Each structure stands twice: as structure tokens, then as C-alpha cells.
């Protein structure tokens, strides 16, 4: 039961940060000229590539931070700040553009294969998700072990694939307005997570 609780403490924030519902309109826009089978293939490629990227940082995070001489509190403060900006964007308080610029989105529409860029990165496995993985991997006395973190990453990317796979049906049921409401609620939760990250980082450097 404790393991399940620890898994959920990572899985839920990671789902909020990767924001599959919020990125669904982008996926449908980028793949509107593709056949259903091509869409399914792109959904699989984008979600699996994001999984590989996040898993890489989950395994090598310690080396990355030591190589650049970055302390965990500094990373938590910076990560919390990034999450807070994401949260404000999700709640439409400030314009979007941290994960991808309007130029990248326009280029994505024109590209034949958008599964890797901009879908897998930076939309799914962007700075926020990578930061979260690195912080969870580094937090001292944390119940989040590497296998548990990798399991959360795999489950997150599986959910992303399912959302993209059934994207057209989800849009029909929820509508764009419904997705925006859910995205804003997720943005509020992410803002709370962001503040907690920054508080934890601050308490360690006091």
C-alpha cells in the first residue's frame, strides 16, 4: 500500500506536467492530414520517445547534477519556478510559449513527421518533466526509488499514448471547452506542487 501511495505521488504530478489532455489539440492539429493508422503510429512514437528521454534522466540524473556542480536545493528552486510558470500558462494567466514557440508549432503543422519534435520534446518531455524527474531522483530520504520512478514514467507515457490514440473521441465527448477547464484545474494543482518544490529547496539552504 505504501508503494502504491509513493507511485501515485510521482505519477499524478508527472501527468499534470506532461499534460496529455492539454497537448491533445496540438497532436490532432499536427496530424490532421494523416490517416488513422499513421496517427496511432505517431502517438506510439511520441509517447515512447518521451518515455526514453525521461527514463534517461531518471537513471543518469545524479551524474548530470554532479557534472555541472548543481546542488539539489538550487534545482528544486529552479524547478519550482518553472512549474509555476507552466501552471500560470495552463490557467491562461500568462501566454504560453515556454514548452514550444509559435514558430515551432507552425513548423510542426508543416512537417510530415512531428512525433519526435515538437510532440515528444518539448511538449511532452520538456524542461518541466525533466526537472521533476531529476528532483525526485535526487531527493534525500525519498520513498521514490529508481524502479518506482521508472514505473511512474512508463505509466505516464502509456496514458499519454491512450489519450492520443483515442484523441478524436475524447474531443467529441469533452469538447475543446471541457479540455480547457480540466487543463486549468490541473494548472492549479501544479501551482501548489511548484510552491512545495520551492519551499523544500528554501528550507534546505536556510
The C-alpha atoms of residue 201 and residue 206 are separated, in whole angstroms, by 9
Below-50 pLDDT ranges, the chain: 108-110
Q: Which residue has the cell 551524474?
A: 63
The confidence score (pLDDT) of residue 118 equals 85
| pTM to 2 decimal places | 0.85
The contacts of residue 172 (CB under 8 Å, 6+ apart) are: none
The C-alpha atoms of residue 148 and residue 188 are separated, in whole angstroms, by 26
The confidence score (pLDDT) of residue 110 equals 46
The C-alpha atoms of residue 144 and residue 140 are separated, in whole angstroms, by 10
Amino acid at each position: 500500500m505504501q508503494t502504491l501511495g509513493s507511485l501515485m505521488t510521482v505519477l499524478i504530478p508527472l501527468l499534470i506536467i506532461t499534460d496529455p489532455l492539454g497537448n491533445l489539440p496540438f497532436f490532432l492539429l499536427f496530424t490532421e492530414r494523416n490517416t488513422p493508422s499513421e496517427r496511432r503510429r505517431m502517438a506510439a512514437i511520441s509517447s515512447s520517445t518521451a518515455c526514453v528521454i525521461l527514463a534517461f534522466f531518471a537513471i543518469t540524473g545524479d551524474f548530470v547534477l554532479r557534472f555541472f556542480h548543481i546542488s539539489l536545493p538550487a534545482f528544486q528552486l529552479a524547478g519550482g519556478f518553472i512549474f509555476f510558470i507552466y501552471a500560470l500558462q495552463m490557467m491562461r494567466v500568462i501566454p504560453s510559449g515556454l514548452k514550444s514557440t509559435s514558430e515551432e508549432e507552425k513548423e510542426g503543422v508543416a512537417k510530415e513527421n512531428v512525433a519526435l519534435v515538437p510532440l515528444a520534446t518539448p511538449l511532452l518531455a520538456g524542461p518541466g518533466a525533466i526537472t521533476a524527474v531529476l528532483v525526485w531522483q535526487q531527493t534525500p530520504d525519498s520513498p521514490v526509488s529508481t524502479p518506482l520512478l521508472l514505473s511512474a514514467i512508463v505509466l505516464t507515457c502509456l496514458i499519454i499514448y491512450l489519450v492520443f490514440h483515442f484523441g478524436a473521441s475524447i474531443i467529441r465527448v469533452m469538447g475543446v471547452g471541457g479540455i480547457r477547464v480540466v487543463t486549468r484545474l490541473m494548472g492549479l494543482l501544479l501551482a501548489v506542487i511548484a510552491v512545495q518544490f520551492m519551499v523544500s529547496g528554501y528550507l534546505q539552504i536556510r
